[in-house]
Structure 1
Amino acid sequence: MRTNQYMGLLPYMAVFVKVVETGSFSAAAEQLGTTASSISRQVACLEQALSVKLLERTTRRLKLSAAGTDAYARCCEMVQSAKLVLELAERINEAPQGMVKISAPRAFGMRLIAPHIEEFLNRYPEVDVQLRLTDRPVDLIGDDLDLMVRITDTPPEGLAARPLIRVSHIICATAAYLEKRGYPQHPNDLALHSCLYLGEIPGDNCWKFRHLHTQERVNVTVRGRYVTNHSRARLEGVLSSLGIGCLPWFVAREALEAKQIVEVLPQWDYTTSYYGMSWILYHPNRFLPPKCRVLIDFLAEKIADSDLNRRARAYPPAQEGVKRLNG
């Protein structure tokens, strides 16, 4: 018998088991939500396909034939296997388990995801996490990922997206540096300062600004003696008064709160490719694995509840006594 033939008989085999269990066509029909005549036809089709008599029909009851007894035992195994598959699916769908592979930009992952991983692993002991930190473009399929975080105001088509927080940047320096070199009043003044920038690709030293109120846009080419593509290293350089640095808000926040640094040009937005809404991206699948669903919900909750995403301009720029830039 060819595969497509016995595959078509599987529903009939399940009906046959139900008839034997209930003892009649009518009782089986009631449990399966159909008619006794339909049940009888399905059993007859199974008998015809197998070329054996499975049930001996009398006016009062049904009785298994010798061949029917053997067939019933095998069909029961099939039905039991189907039940086990359903139970397995229920366990998988109910209990998060397995490895979740998630990618995120380096600074974002270090500051906003990594600090919460211990709590997540304690909350979900059957789930493991592989966190990949990279600023290069990644692909869910090509890079064998379950989830990825991307910062963009336009999520890619074809993927499901869950918003996290809006990522903004600030320009900052120490009061000591500004006392010595002067306080910029306009983005163009930065050309006369020592600035710390990424230097990862050509154009990283071209800083782009938009005024918060007038919407004026300004591009300025900056220079400096210290260039690094790691935000924490730039923060350390700023703290050492090496110059004026560009930093993600969530990286600079603690130093601002401690008054170790001050914000420069607070009326201007510094915009980069690492600027905009952050999203968790994943394949649009209504059967999203629970291990992915719980990590998405967990990170969305933790990051949204954190005040790292609320850029309060309560931290004053340099003091009035800091001299203006000369020349």
Structure 2
Amino acid sequence: MTDGYRRNSQGYDGEEQGYEPYSWGSFAFGIMLGVILVYVFAVRPSEEHLHELNIRVSRLDRTVEKLTKAKETVDGTVDLLSQLAKQKELTEQVQVVADMNEKLKAQFSRLSTMNADIHEAQVALDRIASLHTRVSDQYPIAIQAEQAFNQLVNLQSQVLLSQKDSRLASSSLSDLLHLQQRIVQQAEDARLADMVLKNVFAMQDDLIDGQHLAEKARRVANNMIQIETDLICQTEDSQFAVQSLDQLLTMQRKLNRAGRTMEDGQSLVGELLAQEQNLKPSSSPSSLASPWHALQTLAAQMAPKRLLPMSSSELHRLADHLSQGAPQYVADLVAPTAAEVR
């Protein structure tokens, strides 16, 4: 092969030597033309294309930078989101721990309260045990104290009843004092009547001294006594009693002026008989009140009310004073008034 190559080379060299004046110029022209053509049709478009590629590469670099920055931002956002998620989980865990802590605190407070209650219960049980021991030791004394307390309660109830009775007795005493005043006022009228009666008795003695008018004077005195008794029986109020006493005093003055002569005695007897006809009572004068009737009436009406305004002797004297020589209407006046006493 080497020999063949050498022969071919020698053959070409011979040919080149035969065409040498035209070959180097054409070759140079062809090279220059080829270079120009390459520059025009290949290099220059390549440069323009390269420029465009550089522009695109720069744009791509900027885009890549932006994408890199965006990627970094996204990565930061993802990291932030992951951190937030972790923080949320940690917050939830902290909340759970806080809730558990609160529950533990509540349980601890409950346990503390239970311990305090248990301690107080133990103290109370100890006190109850000691009190039970004391009560068991002092049971007989407690029974005696209970009996004393019951007696004290009974005594207090009796004191309250006695206070009520005292108030009732005070009111009844005031009513009886008022009644006594009324009776004293009526007794004044009766005293005036007694004075008139005494004067009549004196006049009777004076008439008896006159022998020639003894019989007529005795009749006049008896008539005066009868008139006085009838007047007391018929007197129902103080005004009528005063009028009757005035009439008796008038008759007394007439008797004093009559003298000891028969004519004066006869005129006086006529006037007295006229007064007797005017003052004749509707009831019998013999129906005088009994002292024991007023006493029994007062006792019967006050006994159910448990009132004792005065002693029995004072009540007896009061009944004697009211009903001695008085008509029946005096006892009838005393009994309803005593019945109103509370």
- TM-score, normalised via structure 1 length: 0.26
Kindly indicate whether structure 1 or structure 2 has the higher relative contact order, using CA contacts under 8 Å at least 6 residues apart. Answer: 1
Return the structure number with greater strand share. Answer: 1
- TM-score, normalised via structure 2 length: 0.25
